[in-house]
Amino acid sequence: MMITQKSKPHTFVIPIFKDNKTYLYYTNRTVGQPPLVVKLVVELGGSALFFQCDRISYNSTTYTHVLCVFEDSGWSDLPNGANSILGLADSSMSFVKSVESSYKIPFKVALCLPSKPKNNSGSVYIGSRPYLLPPDHRDTSIYRALVKAFVGKAQRKAVYPFRDCFSYKSFGGKSLLGKKTPVISFVLGGGAKWDIYGTNSLVMVNKTIMCLAFVDARNDPRFPIEMGGYQMEDHLVEFDFEASTFSFTSSLLRHNASCSRM
């Protein structure tokens, strides 16, 4: 992956897009010599920068063969044309770590995930501040508490993978933060509170039905709470791997802004 900068950079900014079919996030990057544009799926939990070379090209003068075995069937679930993974996790092999090591910048990554598909890009920030500004899973006990908050709304038949769906008309009027729904508050360590409004708690599956944008994790002890990309859309979130901290803003929609307009 080619990164050119005359002076020492403090922050790298990568535009990211939302795929309308898979609801995954991707970016287009240039690799090799001669330059070749590839589509990479952005994976927050991904531990490495991964290219499937036989789908890209072996013709690059900078190509070095690395023996590996990979199950090919998984590519069908990715956005059309995607053949690579951009891992952003706290890993010695991740793209974030390679940039941090090469340019001696802080080992941190921030995301502003776009809520709108196609040409509306969000951003990945690697390095220093300041920044220019899949479904979520819940343990069964947590999930049931969320459902209770929506009791009284006209329920509709479940639409996979969601279990609790409602009539669009059963919710109140619409604002910058979506339909008027119960506010979901996550209280984190130190007393910090993350409020989730209608735009991030309900997903429109067709013109008349909205579903609770959470999936019951069935008491999986490994992941009692696992935040999904949908809940992070239109928020600026930061993972500081050196300090082991997670920071976030309130919804940018509250300020008449959006990651899709940055």
Q: What is the pLDDT of residues 70-127, one digit of tens each?
A: 665 556 688 888 888 999 989 888 889 989 998 999 999 999 999 988 777 899 999 9
Same structural domain for residues 234 and 197? no
Same structural domain for residues 50 and 165? no
Mean pLDDT of all residues belonging to the chain: 80
Angle ∠(27,20,83) on CA atoms, nearest 5: 40
Same structural domain for residues 24 and 1? yes
Same structural domain for residues 28 and 103? yes
Query: Please, which pLDDT band fits residue 27 given cuts at 50, 70 and 90?
Result: very high
Same structural domain for residues 247 and 119? yes
Q: What is the pLDDT of residues 217-262, one digit of tens each?
A: 666 656 666 678 899 999 999 999 999 998 999 899 888 889 986 5
Same structural domain for residues 234 and 218? no
Please report, as a single letter, which amino acid is at residue 204: M
Same structural domain for residues 146 and 206? yes
Same structural domain for residues 62 and 174? no
Same structural domain for residues 142 and 258? no
Give the pLDDT of residue 86.
92
Q: What is the pLDDT of residues 114-123, one digit of tens each?
A: 998 877 789 9
By residue range, what is the domain housing residue 173?
Answer: 136-227
Which pTM was predicted?
0.78
Same structural domain for residues 96 and 54? yes
Same structural domain for residues 77 and 67? yes
- The number of distinct structural domains making up the chain is 2
Q: What is the CATH number of the domain that holds 166?
A: 2.40.70.10
Same structural domain for residues 29 and 85? yes
Long-range Cβ contact pairs of 226-230 (< 8 A, separation 24 or more): 226/136, 226/137, 226/138, 227/136, 228/134, 228/135, 228/136, 228/137, 229/23, 229/24, 229/25, 229/44, 229/113, 229/134, 230/23, 230/134, 230/135, 230/136, 230/200, 230/203
